[in-house]
Structure formats: structure tokens, C-alpha cells
Amino acid sequence: MDETTYVFDAEGLILGRLASASADILLKAAREHRDDKVIIVNAEKAIVSGRPRSVLNTYHAKYELNHARKGPFFPRMPDMILKRAVRGMLPYQKKTSGRRALRNLRVEIGCPSHLSGDLPEGHQTGDLTKIRKALPERFITLGDISADLGAPTHRWTGGEQ
């Protein structure tokens, strides 16, 4: 079994398109009983298109649905928001292929040292032809959404606020 690890750099990519492409790769591999993995780096630099204020209102509404013990649990960190978006496109509650696909997804804040520069053996850059489009007029980054939700921003800003 030859498994491939696809690496996507989320910088400047629209969240929904990236999540859709990742879910597609993972689900196809899971249904063919392959262990292809997807790693998404720089999650805080992914963008959500739309007016920033209305996007923030939408994410605040999702986050305020939370109950500390009962859920639904909506994340504040950019890597977990992106992972949750991919999870929403997978049948992870109904099918084992969906659960297997979700297990093979990894989302990182920033870029780990072993993935910057040349990729290791068995890793390849994901196909961005269907994902990368011109930047929309109005957008907000996932890092800004997370900061507005109250996430600890020092993880991706390096300490400065």
C-alpha cells in the first residue's frame, strides 16, 4: 500500500474551498482503503470571504451556542475551526470511511520545521488549481476571527498582540 501525504498551505486560501478539497481527498482514499493523509499548515492565514463584521457575527453566534458541559462545542483556535469545517463535509458519524478520513487529517498553526522548504519523502504539495482563486474584495483571516472569539493569539503571532 502506497500512501501519500498531501500538504496544503492555507495562506490566502478560502476556508470552504480548502476544506472541500481536503475532505474529497480524504474520503476517496478512505473508501479505497488507502491511508492518504492531509496536512494543512498556516491555518491562521486561511480566509473567510464576506464582510468582516458579518462573518464575525456568524462565528460569534456559533460560539455562543456552547454550553460548557453539554455542547455543542465550537472551537476558538484557527486550526480547530478549520478541522471542524472539514469534519462538517465528512460522514464521520454515519460511516467508518468518514471516521477514517477524519483521523488522517492534521491541521497546524504556523508551519512545522520539517514541512518548510523541501518536503520529506512521501509528501507532496496538494493540488491548488481548483482552490486558488483571486482574493475577494472583502474577507477576514481565520486568525482574526479566533482573536475576536478570545483565543490566545500568542500561538500564531509570536507574542505580540
Secondary structure element (H or E) that encloses residue 101, with its range: helix 96-103
Q: Which residue has the cell 504556523?
A: 110
pTM for this entry: 0.91
**Residues ≥6 apart with Cβ < 8 Å to 2:** 34
Q: How much is the pLDDT for 161?
A: 58
The answer to whether residues 41 and 28 touch, using CB atoms and an 8 Å cutoff, is no
Q: How much is the pLDDT for 84?
A: 95
Q: How much is the pLDDT for 5?
A: 93
Q: How much is the pLDDT for 22?
A: 95
pLDDT tens, N- to C-terminus, the chain (161 residues) = 578 999 999 999 999 999 999 999 999 999 999 989 999 999 999 999 999 999 999 999 988 887 878 888 889 999 999 999 999 999 988 888 999 999 999 999 988 888 877 888 888 888 888 888 888 999 999 999 999 999 898 888 776 65
CA distance 118 to 135: 27
**What domains are there in the chain, each with its CATH number?**
5-157 (3.90.1180.10)
- Coil, helix or strand at residue 60: helix
